[in-house]
Amino acid sequence: MNTNNTALRQITLPTRLPKVGTTIFTVMSALANEHQAINLGQGFPDFGCDPALPNAVHEAMQAGHNQYPPMAGVAPLREGISKKIATLYGKHYDPQSEITITAGGTQGIFTVIACAVGPGDEVIVIEPVYDSYIPAIDTVGGKAVPVQLIVNRDAQGKITGYEIPWQAISEAITPSTKMIMINSPHNPTGMVWESGDLEKLAEIVRNTNILICSDEVYEHMVYDGQMHQSVARHPELANRSFVISSFGKTYHVTGWKVGYVAAPAALTHEFRKVHQFNVFTVNTPMQYGLAKYLENADHYLNLPQFYEQKRNYLRAGLAKTKFQLLPSPGTYFQCVDYTQLGIPESELNSADFCQWLTTEVGVAAIPVSAFYSNPVESGVIRFCFAKKEETLAEAIARLQRLSKS
């Protein structure tokens, strides 16, 4: 067919996500690569995992575990997860009917929302909020209801941390509220929930049918002697909750994209209906390799000490600058207030400051304002300390020069 003189029809597609562009993580990582900056923006390690883990995957491949696994995940991995949760949090999840292996935490979160939220259903999210939550809610026709963390400040106006806005959460609940999404340890602020917070959440949802989506991918990164307060610890909450975690975060293999969702059998039944058509199942040899590696609890029990040392190293270096350090009791992120640097650039909004920091100073960070549905300027940016010591040392040296200029 000759189309030389025929205008090709332009096909357009109505957008399901009109407010969404390229994520801030992709933008800042690309900018860091372009300017050969040290990337403390996107949350991934720049060091390798324990060689025993890929070796276990290789052994699984050599043993012939290369075809489709069961839709819910291979039995040894689900059994290992069940044992881990019971040991740490005192909650038994049936590995057959209550644990599902997912293609990372993000796929798990999306599938939770897709199976539970319908058009017009309201989902309360707590801002600053991880960037996948609201688009997932929008995609299925739900309505995100943002409630902002309370920013605590001292007498001089300096940010001292964040507080959960219990009154605002309670007031945001309507007859259309289907779910509350929570995240602890919290990305991007690094705050962690305490046992009293679980009690307050239970009080709010008691005598309702509201579900909880609990993003706990940083569960093994809680510091200063604190314990991770999983909703699995609280029977009343566990009964209505989907719990999401990530092997990528725990074992330094973010590119593997393997996680899991634990939930009561009735919730898991609906979750798997969507999961089987969303992703169907997850990489077989990696599941067997992870199952073997999970047998040694030290691999996750030692993680808090490992990352606490990195956090302390970065904080000690930044303490010699004019950046103001916010508390970081969890995750592998450190937030700082840059507005007191005493340089002209400290007057920039946080997105522009991060652009300048990347291109001119050579250190990439993420503006916390990007984690709000409508950007909120607090003068706070986020650094990732899941890096080799030499990477952190060079980043610190570059950032310290700001206080000497």
Residue 379: which residues within 8 A CB-CB, separation 6 or more?
159, 337, 338, 339, 350
**69 and 198 inside one domain:** yes
Helices (H), 152-229: 166-172, 195-205
Q: Is the peptide bond prior to 188 cis by the omega test (within 30 degrees of 0)?
A: yes
Print pLDDT tens along the chain (405 aa): 555 667 888 898 888 888 887 778 888 889 989 999 999 998 899 999 999 999 999 999 999 999 999 999 999 999 999 999 999 999 999 999 999 999 999 999 999 999 999 999 999 999 999 999 999 999 999 999 999 999 998 888 888 889 999 999 999 999 999 999 999 999 999 999 999 999 999 999 999 999 999 999 999 999 999 999 999 999 999 999 999 999 999 999 999 999 999 999 999 999 999 999 999 999 999 999 999 999 999 999 999 999 999 999 999 999 999 999 999 999 999 999 999 999 999 999 999 999 999 999 999 999 999 999 988 899 999 999 999 999 999 999 999 999 775
CA distance 356 to 348: 9
**Contact predicate 354/364, CB 8 Å:** yes
179 Cβ contact list (under 8 Å, min separation 6): 113, 116, 117, 121, 123, 124, 210, 211, 212, 213
Give yes or no: residues 160 and 123 share one domain: yes
What span, in angstroms and rounded, lies between the C-alpha atoms of 379 and 390?
A: 27
Give residue for tokens 């897709």.
114
Q: Which residues, in sequence order, are CB contacts of 248 under 8 Å at separation 6+?
A: 104, 105, 254, 255, 256, 257, 258, 259
Residue 93 lies in a domain: yes
Q: Residues 61, 206: one domain?
A: yes
Whether 262 is in a domain gets the answer: yes
Residues 253 and 392 in one domain: no
18 located within any domain: no
pLDDT of amino acid 4: 63
Structure confidence at residue 137 (pLDDT): 97
In a domain, 15, yes or no: no
Domain that holds residue 253: 52-296
> Are residues 171 and 40 part of one domain?
no
Closest by CA to 307, choosing from 374, 232, 387, is 387
Q: Answer whether residue 323 is part of any domain.
A: yes
Last residue of a domain, one of 244, 262, 296: 296
Q: Assess whether 104 and 237 both reside in one domain.
A: yes
Q: Residues in the chain, how many? A: 405
Does residue 95 fall inside a structural domain?
A: yes
Cα dihedral sign for 375, 376, 380, 384? negative
Q: What is the pLDDT of residue 405?
A: 58
Does the residue 358 lie in any domain? yes
Distance CA 71, CA 275 (A): 8
pLDDT at 295: 98
- Report the distance separating Cα 232 and Cα 241, nearest Å: 8
How is residue 104 written in tokens? 């990372």
Q: What CATH number should be reported for the domain holding residue 88?
A: 3.40.640.10
Pair (289, 330) in one structural domain: no
Q: Tell me the backbone φ, ψ of residue 123, rounded to 5 degrees.
A: -130, 120
Specify burial of residue 187 (Cβ count, 10 A radius: 0-12, 13-18, 19+): buried
The tally of domains found in the chain comes to: 2
- Nearest to residue 219, comparing CAs of 309, 89, 334? 89
Q: Do 280 and 373 have their domain in common? A: no
Residues 221 and 355 in one domain: no
Q: What is the pLDDT of residue 18?
A: 86
Q: Does some domain include residue 7?
A: no
Same domain, 241 and 307: no
Given 296, 326, 357, the domain boundary residue is: 296
CA dist 263 to 97, 112, 201, 204, 239, Å?
A: 9, 10, 17, 20, 8
> Do residues 139 and 39 share a domain?
no
Instruction: Write down which residue in 247, 280, 296 finishes a domain.
Output: 296
CATH, residue 348: 3.90.1150.10
Instruction: Give me the amino acid identity at 113.
Output: I
In this structure, which amino acid lies at residue 287?
Answer: Q
**Strands 211-215 and 380-384, sheet pairing:** unpaired
Q: Are residues 256 and 318 both part of a single domain? A: no
